[in-house]
Amino acid sequence: MIGGNDIVIPAVGDPAALEASVRIVQRHWPHARFEDAITGDKYIRFGEIPLGRVRELLVYPNADAEAAWDADSPDSPTNSMLYLILSPNFITVVLDDPTTADMRSILTSIRRMMWIYICDTYAEAA
């Protein structure tokens, strides 16, 4: 099940911010599966995701977790899906429990990457 924990991370709201976030998640979940949260289109591999068009992405750690969500199982394990939402100034990560070691690591990595990306963007503009 997905909880109501929205982690809002400052970001430059272009597709590269979502791409960087997804790459980070995939490093932690090497067998991740993806789904466009708006259209329902599914992607088995990262390279299949049309990142220029996708603004909201569901990420499952593996095919079993994806299948459990597709079956609307009330027994889906905690943090068995992440919901990534790209907006003009933020990446929002929706998840069940941000206090687990795995989620803390993912969130810290995304925060660091977005900070670097924001600093680079402003430095280029100056």
**Tens digit of each residue's pLDDT (9 = 90 or more) over 87-106:** 999 999 999 999 999 999 99
In 3-state terms the chain splits into helix, strand, coil percentages (rounded to 5) of: 40, 25, 35
Question: What confidence category does residue 120 fall into, taking pLDDT thresholds of 50, 70 and 90?
Answer: low
> What average pLDDT does range 53-63 have in this prediction?
96
Lowest mean pLDDT among 7-11, 35-39, 69-73, 87-91: 69-73
> What average pLDDT does range 22-30 have in this prediction?
97
0.75 exceeded by the pTM? yes
How many C-beta atoms surround the C-beta of residue 99 within 10 A? 8
